[in-house]
Structure 1
Amino acid sequence: MPVISVTLLPGYDEGTEERLVQRLALAARSVIAAPAAGTTSFVMHANTYQRDGRVVRKGGAPHPDASALVGDFLARVEARELDAARQLLAPGFVMRFPGGALMTRLEELLAWARERYQRVAKRIERIDESWGDGVTTVHCSGTLHGVLLDGFAFEGVRFIDRFEVVGGLILRQEVWNDLAEVRPRAV
């Protein structure tokens, strides 16, 4: 069974260390067939070390929790807090919605939605993360509910949003949903 230790310099809060040991255990179990109960990961602390002839006494900044960042972004967009939502976006942000609609600004999204819905909202059922070199991918899934322009109410429409988070900001959003399967019944 895997036993994983990581040594950190001072400056990390308890929540950051907790996320780190949880993710180290998940990473090990993605490679080794080990049960959660048989996987141990822990943090040790060092006050100082030397690398490349430099003495280092503090670690680098932690990344924000990407899943929480995505949840915050979705909530702010739904509440139409666009200035706050924009603060969570990376330079070069792009989003693609059903039908291939490609947008780079939140105002474009709202204009696109006004031509489709009286209102629409998400019920998030699950958020998953995966990590690559410099990018965290967040998949958010659940159901949509709302009212189309013609007054047709819908509920339980499946969706998946895929986000790429780089440097603690959202760089890309891809959206898929089954709303096209519901629309023919609205006619």
Structure 2
Amino acid sequence: MPIVEVHILSGYDAEAKRRLGEALTDAVRFVVPAPPEAVTVMIHEMPGEHYYRGRTQRSGAPALADPKEIVRSYLLAMERRDIDTAQEMLGDGFVMQFPGTAPMSKLSELIEWAAPRYRSVTKTYEGFDAMQSSSDAAIVYARGTLSGVWPDGTDFEGIRFIDRFELIGGLITQQDVWNDIAEVRAST
């Protein structure tokens, strides 16, 4: 039974500590073959007045926002065509790559490119998976199925998709999309 102990400065809320406990459990399970209930995580809080670095008293940094929730909010804003809200979630140098087209950097380019492909599309999510890359980027995968309406007014559903996002500093900097929409459309 793996036991992980971590010391943090006091001030993090229960949600941040829950996320930290889950992330440490997942990190252990990535190496040690243990079910989640066999991994014990102990979080010890230290008062900030007892923490010094470089002879200076320091306080803890605020918890990062959950990258899965940022991606979920972005995708919901895009589905609602709330472009202003979605745009606020994008970082400098944002680039997105969809099947069958060159990389795009503006949401307006995506909307223009998608217009002849379908009238509307919605996503049903099977899950979101997040991890930290070896760089500063958080990686989030969203997976599930697409449904919607083709340009001729016929409905479609059950088309597989995977979206991969990179986030730096809580902002989306890259989106890569894979789906079977072209193959399904060609067969109808």
The normalised TM-score by structure 2 is 0.93
Runs (5+) with no aligned partner, structure 2: none
1:60-79 residue pairs with structure 2 within 5 A?
60-79=61-80
Q: Which structure 1 residue ranges, 4+ long, deviate > 3 Å from structure 2?
A: none
Per the alignment, residue 96 of structure 2 pairs with 95
CA deviations on 1:22-78 (whole Å, 9 max, x unpaired) are 10011011111222222100211111211122212x211211101111000000011
Question: How many angstroms does 1:115 deviate by?
Answer: 1.9
CA distance in 2, matches of 1:116, 1:32: 46
1:1-187 residue pairs with structure 2 within 5 A?
1-47=1-47, 48-56=50-58, 58-133=59-134, 134-186=136-188
CA distance in 2, matches of 1:177, 1:29: 30
Runs (5+) with no aligned partner, structure 1: none
CA distance in 2, matches of 1:42, 1:68: 25
Secondary structure class of the residue paired with 1:75: helix
How many residues are paired up?
Answer: 185
Secondary structure class of the residue paired with 2:119: strand
Identity percentage of aligned residues: 42
The normalised TM-score by structure 1 is 0.94
